[in-house]
Each structure stands twice: as C-alpha cells, then as structure tokens.
Structure 1
Amino acid sequence: MKVLLLFSSADIGGAERSLSRMALANNDGSISYQLSTFDSHGVWSEWVISAEGSPICFDKSVWKLLKYIFTEKPDAIYIIGFRLAVLLRIVVPFLSKSLLVQGVRWNPNSNSMLDKMFRFVERFFGSLLDGYIVNSNSARQSLNKLVKKNIALIYNGIAEIQPINSKKSDNKNIITIANLSTRKGYEDYLRAISIVVSKVPESRFLFLGKDNLDGKIQQLIIDNKLENNVQYLGFQERIDEFLENSAVFVLPSLYGEGCPTSILEAFSFSLPVVAYQIDGIPELVTHGIDGLLFDVGNVDALAGGIVSFLLDPENSEKMGISGRQKVKDYFLLDDMVKKHNDYFLGLK
C-alpha cells in the first residue's frame, strides 16, 4: 500500500517532526510512506534529507500536486493541513481512487476563526473523507460531535529513551521548545518568568523554535529587562544537547494542543514538565507525578510551579524519571508506526 503523507507547510513543528519520524522508521514491506509538502523546499525538507529521506515539494502548485496524484495514484493520502484537506476532498475523487485521511494534530474546540471553520466544514462535509487520525483523546471527543467516521487515536512516539543522568542541583535552566506564536502563550509566559527571576535570580530560560511573531517576543524580553535570564535560540535542528543541559521543561500553550512531541522529548531526558491543563496535555502529564499542571492563564501558579522545581531539585529529578518511564511504557515510536500501518492497511 502506498501512502502519500502530505504536509501543508515547509516549516517544522511537532506534527512534522513526529509524523516524519514515523514514516522514516517504517520497515513494513506491505506499506510505504512518501513524505511530501505542498510548500516549497525549506527547513522541513532539509531536515528530512538529513535523516536520509526523499521528500517531495510541490512548490505551492495545485497543478503539480494533482498531477502527482493522477499519475502515481497513491492508495491513500494522509493530509496534515485543514485547508489542504478541504481542497483535496473536492477534487481527488475526479482524479483517482485514493483514500483521503485527515490528520488532526490539535484539539479544534477553541473560539479561533480557524477552529470555527473547521467544525463547520467537518460537520457538513466530513462524509467526503475516508477517515481521521487524531493524536489526543480530547481531539477525538471534539470530532465525535461532528462526524460519524471512524476516528483513530494514535499518540506520538519517541524513538530513543535517553540514559538516566543525575541533574546537577545547581542546574537552573528551564527550556521551552515551541514555535513563537500567539497560541503558544509566550507573552503570559514572560510575565511568569519575571516572577521566577525575582525569586530565583540565577534562573535561565531557553526558547527554541521558529519566530512567527516578527520579533515581538524578543522585544518584550528587552522591555521587561529579562535579557540576562531569557535567551531566544531560534529553530534548532538538534535539541538533545539543550534538553540534556536543562532541569525543567515548560510548555505555556493556551489552546490548540494535541499530543505535544516536545513533552515526550522532555520526558525522555528525565525533565519534569510545567504546563497549563488544556486539551491533550493532561493525557501526557500527570499532575504531581511527572509534572505540574495549572489552570490556563494562571501566571502566578505557572511561576510557582517552576520555582518549586528549581528550589527542590530532588523532587524535580524524581518527577522527571517518572516521565521517562511513562514514555518507555506508552509512547514509543515503534508503537506509533504499527498503529499507523494497521490503520491504513485496514482501509483497503
């Protein structure tokens, strides 16, 4: 079976990393994945090539994409991108018998315009798709209210579990891996950081991810006199070294999360997690066991959770080890690959 795994963007976020790794790790001869993007050559395609993959870039050309579908006739198209899924469900039936599956990598229950449009389209036109794959139960529950299709829940997975290394008690590095965008909550996070710095002056915050806010967060760092405590490092192809040298992971997202790969990566390095209790995050993080979860927007609580880990490194390390064990038990890449393969082969 041939599956065209089609991303809408040339950028690289959690969805692109986790699903590309899944496709590249597949060794089942009965199914193959062709990695592709509707966008042009960019960070994602370079990353795939570095991992010895062969991505296709359609250069934002509908004609190139439809020509490929018509000539190559993939058995299924796994679409990551709502607008692209709308287009393909309209035109693909006229070109081939390819099955259409939409990957929903976030919980579409917010009041954002995109989520409202998504809910409208799926409620009335979901029957034009052959299925959905979600990576959180929260997303599945939202979709169940809209469509009658079979919805597969497949969590993200991590390929490698790092050996346990005892964290130094004086390690005050806090890391966040998330592209800079409004829904990722960086503005609220900076307010929390100001509180943390007032209590733990030697704390150091690392931001890793592409800047989608045109320098707004960097300017806020300066405006709040946090340059000595906060460092924006941009997108990093390799994040292992940064995770290895950190003590706490924070994901300050306000909405729209599914199964954040960054949390699993943090757990794999035995880092405890601090986050808001939204969408699929509580499906990964157990409050008081491997991390701390707070009501969304409660900046004081978020800051307090970070401070508690910095001042109690023994408890921080204990929770991080619990997170590491959780990944080993429930969130391995091999399981993610097998469940995707079983799903697509079951569609034939």
Structure 2
Amino acid sequence: MKILQANKFFFPNGGSETVMFQEREFLLGLGNETVDFSMEDPRNLDSPYKASFVRTQDYRSRQGKLTKVMSAVQFIHSREAANKMASLVRKTRPDIVHCHNIYHQLTPSIIGAAKLFGIPVVLTLHDYKLVCPTYNRLRGGQPCSACLTGNFREALVHRCASGSFGKSALLYVEATVQRWMGNYEKVDAYIAPSRFMSEAIAHRVPKERIHLLYNGVGTDLVQGSGADDGYALYLGRLSSEKGVGSLLVAHESSGGAWPLVVAGTGPLEADLRSQYKKAKFIGHVTGDELRDVIDRAAVIVVPSEWYENCPMSVLEAMAYGKPVVGSRIGGIPELVADGETGLLFEPGNKDDLAAAMARLMGAPELRRQLGQAARKRVEEEFSLAKHNAGLMNVYKSVLGG
C-alpha cells in the first residue's frame, strides 16, 4: 500500500507531528510506501519528495498592501499546493492521501486536488478548524461553542482572533469560502482522537464518516523507574488557555506546601516567573532531560482551560506510571479515570485544583497506586499498537476492504 501523508510541517513541532511521524514509521515498518507532502523549512527532516514541497509561507512577517492581498488569497486557497499535490499524485499514484494539519500553509485545496484523481482522503482532526475559524474554540480566553452551528460570523463579531478585526475577518472569510468550496466535505474518513472531538465535528460532517481513534504512545519504549522525588510537574506552553496561571495561584495559596516544577516557555513566561517565586521554572526541556524530569515527578498536572483534544502529555505521563491531575474539559476525562488513574477538577477552579493537589501530594502510597493503574490503562487502551491497528482499519474502510 502507498500512503501520501500531508502536513504543513515536516519536523517535530507539536502533537500532530508526533502522531504523523509515529504513523509514518509504523507504515514503513510494515513494508508500505509513504509519500511526503509538506512545506519547505530548514528544520525539515530529509525526504525524497522535498522537491514537491510548497514554498515557505510565513503570514506573520511584515508585508506591503499588494503582498498582503496576495497572501490572503494564498492563505485561503493555495494554487501552488493544489498544483504540486496534483503533480505528486500523478507521479506516485498513492492508494490513500492522509492529511494532518494542512490549513493556511497547504490549505484544503490539496483535498480537492487528490479527489480529482479518485484517491480516498483521510483527515486527522488535530484541532477544531472545521467548526471554529480560529481552530481553538476560545472567545476572549474562554471556551466557546458559538460556531458549532456553522454561523462563522460569530468569530468576526467577537473578534476572536487576538481581538483583531482584520485577522478575524480573514479567518471568517476563509471559513466561509472553504464551506462554499466543499473541500473538507470531500474527505472520505475523519479521524477524531477523542469522543469530544467526534461529537463536535458531527455538527458539520456525516457521523458515519467519523472514526474515533485515540492517539497512542509507545509503551514498549517507555519504562518508568518508579522514582518519586515529591514534586508536581507542569509540562507545556505557558499561555492562559493552558491553565498554568490557575495552577500557580493554587500553589501559592498552599504556601508552597508541595514543590512545583514548571517546564516550558510561552507568552506568559516572564510575568509568571516574576510573580510566582515559590515555583521552579526550568524552561524548555527535551531529550533525556525531559524524560528524566517526567520520570522523577510525583504527579503530572494538566490544568487546561480550553477544549483539549487528546493531549500526548497525558498519555506520556501515564506511560511513565504517573498519576495525572487534570481539568474536567474536552478530551481529558476520556483519558484520566477520576479516582483510579488520577484526579479531575473543574477547569479554572483554583480551590478544586488546590484540594486535588493536596490530596495527592500528601499521599505517596495513593500516588503509587494511581500511577500503576495509569500505566495499566495506557497499555490496554492507548498503546501505539492499538492506535496503529485502528489506523489500518480506517484505511481498509476507505479502500473498500
């Protein structure tokens, strides 16, 4: 079988790339062929198909008026990406085109290009782009469902793109044009990594084309040492929707009764570092340092205040045998079994979070029990092997197998 994988980035950049490269490695390991389609970037991994990648698109750079207009058109519908996709499909003749994150840089134009050749298209829903012009379902920093009905005008009225009328207008036009062009509707199978996502996307596409397939983690490659150095760990972007501010307030209110390590960077980093002195900020960590800081943690905290999909951070924590304290929002409750593999609390409720932390941080034996249960749950429900088996079932369904 030959699978063409399309994603705007061809280097490790986030959760969507983690999933794509995991699947690519699995498919190649089975003797399948993979064809890569992405955007040029000096950080890209090597690919025999890099000559077919589209030119770099950086919409954040300063531009003149004419260039801005041309960029806006390219942002919505990339003729270059559509033409290069058509050429690559014609040359390689894949059995399936599997799209991951494609909007803005590649655009849904590539879906239509693939369908012109009668190629089945699979789309993994890493975020809410199909039902939210800004993709994150946030309005003024709060979770929002206004556009689920298809009335994308809400994003314009409320200036959901960073409070900017211009940016919000562009995203509104993009969403409206894409719905009119119908490229997303041409997808044969949508992979939803959480039940929460599948229910959201069902507002736009037929339920029978939606396949629930949780992300997976390679449990055979991750073996925690059982260490517990007594600190709680937050690992992620330092931004408001991630709830790190609420976590730091809860920690401060406890008088720093339990050690808190904050790993990551983001727009709030400077303010948080200056305001919360009792927490230990260690910045961005990778590789062995990242694995070690997770392995030695007592608890992993995921205090998100937006509709998380299927966060890899939760699955990775469980693979290390760590209990997770997570907010009861989005797809997180589908991963964390409250009272069995971790504890859930109401998002943004600092008192609820502080109580959950106090309960776990004062009970090493409870942490050990929940951590063991978390490891067992991830092995049984969220292993990479189970994800890969589900992926093959999705492929078979669109190929008529």
For the aligned pair, the TM-score class normalised by the smaller chain equals: 0.7 to 0.9
Root mean square deviation of aligned Cα: 3.0
1:167-246 superposed matches below 5 A: 167-168=227-228, 171-196=229-254, 198-200=255-257, 203-208=259-264, 211=265, 213=266, 216-226=267-277, 229-238=279-288, 239-246=290-297
SS at match of 1:3: strand
Letter in 1 for 2:34: Y
**Unpaired segments ≥5 residues, structure 1:** none
Moved more, 298-307 or 155-164: 155-164
In structure 1, the residue matched to 2:377 is 326
In structure 1, the residue matched to 2:30 is 28
Displacement after TM superposition at 1:322 (Å): 0.6
SS at match of 1:193: helix
SS at match of 2:338: coil
Asked if the contact 2:310–2:331 (Cα under 8 Å) also holds between the matched residues in 1, the reply is: yes
Displacement after TM superposition at 1:136 (Å): 0.6
Alpha-carbon distance in 2 for matches of 1:231, 1:128: 46
Asked if the contact 1:39–1:58 (Cα under 8 Å) also holds between the matched residues in 2, the reply is: yes
Aligned residues: 329
In structure 1, the residue matched to 2:109 is 87
Out of 87, 96, 105, the residue aligned to residue 76 of structure 1 is: 96
Alpha-carbon distance in 2 for matches of 1:119, 1:15: 26
In structure 2, the residue matched to 1:280 is 331
Give the TM-score taking structure 2 as reference length: 0.72
Does residue 1:4 correspond to 2:55, yes or no? Answer: no
Measured at CA, do residues 119 and 70 of structure 1 come closer, stay the same or move farther in structure 2, by a change above 3 Å? farther
Alpha-carbon distance in 1 for matches of 2:360, 2:199: 33
Letter in 2 for 1:142: A
Alpha-carbon distance in 2 for matches of 1:181, 1:89: 32
In structure 2, the residue matched to 1:307 is 358
In structure 1, the residue matched to 2:165 is none
Letter in 2 for 1:308: R
Out of 249, 255, 258, the residue aligned to residue 300 of structure 2 is: 249
1:121-140 superposed matches below 5 A: 125=182, 126-140=184-198
Displacement after TM superposition at 1:319 (Å): 0.6
SS at match of 1:206: strand
Displacement after TM superposition at 1:129 (Å): 1.6
Displacement after TM superposition at 1:142 (Å): 1.5
If asked which structure has higher relative contact order (CA below 8 Å, sep 6+), I would say 1
* Identical residues among aligned pairs (%): 20
SS at match of 1:176: strand
Measured at CA, do residues 12 and 113 of structure 1 come closer, stay the same or move farther in structure 2, by a change above 3 Å? closer
Task: Give CA-to-partner distance per residue, 1:177-213, whole Å, 9 cap, x none.
Answer: 32344432233333233234x141x6031314xx4x4
Displacement after TM superposition at 1:60 (Å): 3.1
Asked if the contact 1:185–1:253 (Cα under 8 Å) also holds between the matched residues in 2, the reply is: yes
Alpha-carbon distance in 2 for matches of 1:55, 1:248: 43
Alpha-carbon distance in 1 for matches of 2:241, 2:5: 25
Give the TM-score taking structure 1 as reference length: 0.82
Asked if the contact 1:7–1:80 (Cα under 8 Å) also holds between the matched residues in 2, the reply is: yes
Displacement after TM superposition at 1:309 (Å): 1.6
Letter in 2 for 1:316: R
Displacement after TM superposition at 1:89 (Å): 2.9
Moved more, 137-146 or 314-323: 137-146
Does residue 1:16 correspond to 2:36, yes or no? Answer: no
Alpha-carbon distance in 1 for matches of 2:256, 2:237: 27
**Unpaired segments ≥5 residues, structure 2:** 58-77, 138-145, 151-174
Moved more, 287-296 or 1-10: 1-10
Alpha-carbon distance in 2 for matches of 1:76, 1:252: 37
SS at match of 2:88: helix
Letter in 2 for 1:71: K
Does residue 1:157 correspond to 2:216, yes or no? Answer: yes
Alpha-carbon distance in 2 for matches of 1:34, 1:224: 48
Alpha-carbon distance in 2 for matches of 1:303, 1:334: 36
Alpha-carbon distance in 2 for matches of 1:15, 1:176: 20
Task: Give CA-to-partner distance per residue, 1:136-170, whole Å, 9 cap, x none.
Answer: 111111122221151111111121354464434xx
Asked if the contact 2:148–2:200 (Cα under 8 Å) also holds between the matched residues in 1, the reply is: no
SS at match of 1:287: coil
SS at match of 1:160: coil
Asked if the contact 2:218–2:383 (Cα under 8 Å) also holds between the matched residues in 1, the reply is: yes
Alpha-carbon distance in 1 for matches of 2:203, 2:131: 14
Measured at CA, do residues 319 and 132 of structure 1 come closer, stay the same or move farther in structure 2, by a change above 3 Å? same
Moved more, 282-291 or 157-166: 157-166
Measured at CA, do residues 39 and 301 of structure 1 come closer, stay the same or move farther in structure 2, by a change above 3 Å? farther
Alpha-carbon distance in 2 for matches of 1:288, 1:151: 30
Measured at CA, do residues 163 and 343 of structure 1 come closer, stay the same or move farther in structure 2, by a change above 3 Å? same
Out of 338, 341, 348, the residue aligned to residue 297 of structure 1 is: 348
Measured at CA, do residues 308 and 108 of structure 1 come closer, stay the same or move farther in structure 2, by a change above 3 Å? farther
Alpha-carbon distance in 2 for matches of 1:100, 1:181: 34
